[in-house]
Amino acid sequence: MMHSDTVRPFKAYKNMDFLNSPEARSIRVQCELTEPAVRFEQFGIKNTIVFFGSARIQEPKEADKRLHAVEKEVQATEKLTPELEEKLQAAKALRKAAPYYDAARELAKRLTRWSMEIEAPQKRMHIITGGGPGIMEAANRGTYDAGSHAIGMSISLPFENELNKYCDIERSFRFHYFFVRKYWLFYLSKALVVFPGGFGTMDELFEVLTLIQTGKTSKRVPVVLFGADFWNSFMNINALVEWGTISRKDLNLLRVLDTVEDAYNYLTESLESYTR
């Protein structure tokens, strides 16, 4: 067998074929657990307020453009096809939801300015999102508007792969594993604000409520469901009490609020113990 003085084997941690293999999955998971911890420590990020919500919700002017474009398409056709009718209804729905974009942006801006006034840097609250478009973009944008660093935790998905443009790259992350991303979204959180959303939003919400309800976390985490019209039409949580599947006291785990002012006041009062 011939050998060469110039060809050497890879060290295991430089062997990309191995690191991307099923056998190295535990190493990749460990990287996603460890590397964010290093950067959070580097930037002094110890407390977060997490914003959840739909990636589809657009700011009002963009939702208006989309609706007007679809309406023109409808006017130009002789017959309204099922596909075009569905497209029109989707555009109308997104226009209905668009004000929540502005609300998330304003609330994040106000909370960021409030946090920046906390004297001890280690006690400041940092807004964090899933890093994608929609409500996540709005909250990161509000943080950016306030003059602070917007933090995003994106995940590699076929239809949502990049951080929104308001995220600070040095303080943001891109995950492969959903469960590790969830861990980091909740681990440093001191409050959660949940805007209208779909399956992903509900997944995050109910997992967090379960952790709080079962005592898997000892910290007090206020949970705000923003937008009474949406939440009251979507979810009758009192029915869970009526059927005996949760206790009445579990209703205290969350608060449905409808204005930026109410959400801001409730959150800042609830978080006062962390900032003293």
Non-local (6+) Cβ contacts of 42 within 8 A are: none
CATH architecture under which domain 44-59+98-275 falls:
3-Layer(aba) Sandwich (3.40)
Q: Quick check: helix, strand or coil at residue 133?
A: coil
| Percent of the chain residues past pLDDT 70, beyond the cut | 96
Question: Whole-prediction pTM value?
Answer: 0.91
The pLDDT confidence band at residue 237, using thresholds 50, 70 and 90, is very high
Q: What digits encode the pLDDT tens for the residues 70-118? A: 999 888 887 888 899 999 999 999 999 999 999 999 999 999 999 999 9
Q: Quick check: helix, strand or coil at residue 167?
A: strand
Alpha carbons within 13 angstroms on the beta-carbon side of residue 125 total 26
Residues facing residue 249 across a β-bridge: none
Q: Which amino acid is at 218?
A: S
According to the model, what pLDDT value does residue 76 have? 87
- Tell me the domain boundaries of the chain: 44-59+98-275, 62-94
